[in-house]
Amino acid sequence: MTLGAHLAGMRAQRPLVQNITNFVAMQTMANVLLAAGASPAMVHAREEAAEFAGLASAVTLNTGTPEPDWVAAMEAAATAALARGIPVVLDPVAAGATGYRREINGRLARLSPSIIKGNASEILAVAGRTSASRGADSGDGTDAAEPAAIALARATGGIVAVTGAIDVVTDGRRIARIANGSPLMTQVTALGCALTGIVAAFAAGAPDRFHATVAALAYYALAGERAAAEDPRPGSFATAFLNALHDVTPEQVDALALVEYADAPL
């Protein structure tokens, strides 16, 4: 499958993505998934999270505003989904900022989620390495996190995506580096969290989740480029970005994605 074919397949499937995400990201994440062509569900109650996960096409876990009941719901939903072969995407927001975040993200990572997606500092923290995080912002470059991402992918048996100026995706054997995007994407809150939902939507039903993750990040970054070209101000960019997610075609993804592949070092 080409990268664009993953976008076309996602839109044809219209996957139901269950999101246990943070208070800041809910509306943005739902709008992003709708614009892309997926179906969002914000289901986080501990009493129903696992049951709903059995109905979903994919599940996302975001630890941006963690509370004990929500973390328990994440563990239950992830366990239920993984038992059914449903992809689970973990977004370990600010994983290294506090002891509580290190502990809960470590627990969730030990469930072996299908995909872990975070900025460089978050991936370093989940992998047990030293990071220079500044809350939810990364103080590290993706190149510094690449060895940790490879090790983490091998440890979990899943995919690890590191976001930044150059995005990095690895399954422990392969590496892809994606050079598209716009700095304005960091100026609108929750766009990084919303990307987790896009990754989940692309992974739902995909025969190769590594390639699906690369396609998701390339598509998202291309939408950012398109929106920035339309209006380079954060407020207008946010609206233009949703429109771009709707408008970007599979053919444009294939033609414009700047992706470099390599084998992961042993």
DSSP calls for 232-259: -SHHHHHHHHHHHHHH--HHHHHHH--E
Name which of 84, 64, 6 is nearest 38 in CA terms.
Answer: 6
Residue 60 in marked binding region: no
Cβ–Cβ under 8 Å, residues 17 and 197: yes
194: which 2 tokens? 């919303």
Residue 203 in marked binding region: no
Tally of CA atoms within 13 A in the half-sphere of 64 that contains its CB: 23
In this structure, the strands spanning 115-119 and 159-163 are parallel
CA dist., res. 116 & res. 158, Å (int): 8
Residue 74 in marked binding region: no
Residue 42 in marked binding region: yes
Q: What is the DSSP letter of 62?
A: E
Residue pointed to by tokens 């103080």? 139
Burial of 178 (0-12, 13-18, 19+ CB in 10 A): buried
In this structure, the strands spanning 259-263 and 174-178 are antiparallel
Residue partners of 53: CB distance under 8 A and separation at least 6 = 18, 59, 76, 77, 78, 80, 81, 84, 86
Positions at the binding site: 42, 117, 163, 190
Positions at the binding site for substrate: 42, 190
Positions at the binding site for ATP: 117, 163
